[in-house]
Amino acid sequence: MSKSVNENLLPKKQPNKLLKEQESLPKQSESQKQSQALRYNRGKLRWGLVDFKSLEPMVEVLEFGAKKYSPDNWKNGLNQEEILESMIRHLTELLDQVKKGEPGLDSDSGLTHMGHIQCNAMFYNYHERNGSFSKERNNPFTKS
């Protein structure tokens, strides 16, 4: 004995944005439909383009800073000009060392200048995105 369902009592499905996007895409052949699942990633960041190994020097500098100051201390606000000045200092020191055939290492941390440059670029992007640059400059006469 089968039960009959009154179609009028069931909730009506509303077309959503994703369905509309799917309808606008070119139709796939039967062989394509069976060989690969569909993914709608248009407009999403392609993180697979990043070489994460290249970010290791930055992470090493972040670990150094976490010990020297505190983890995520840089998120508390940094002066925009100081970030850029630090980046330029590391860039010019790296350039001088490259010209001399020396390894591009920072004398204070013993880590690569490139890691410091990457950190400064990330700090700048973070504070620019969040509107959290500090207006104050650090006192150059305090312990660094």
pLDDT of residue 4: 52
Residue 116: DSSP 8-state:
H
Span 2-32, pLDDT tens digits: 455 555 555 555 556 666 666 666 666 665 5
Whole-angstrom CA distances from 53 to 57, 70, 90, 105, 109 are 9, 24, 21, 18, 20
* 92, part of any domain: yes
Residue 43, in any domain of the structure: no
pLDDT in tens, 50-81: 999 999 999 999 999 999 999 999 999 999 99
Residue 48 domain-assigned?
A: no
Structural domain contains residue 140:
no
Domain that holds residue 127: 74-135
Query: Quick check: 144 pLDDT over 50?
Result: no
Say if 35 falls within a structural domain: no
Within a domain: 46: no
Against a cut of 0.75, is the pTM above it?
no
Structural domains of the chain, count: 1
12 in a domain, yes or no? no
What pLDDT is recorded for position 32? 56
Whether residue 94 is contained in a domain is answered as yes
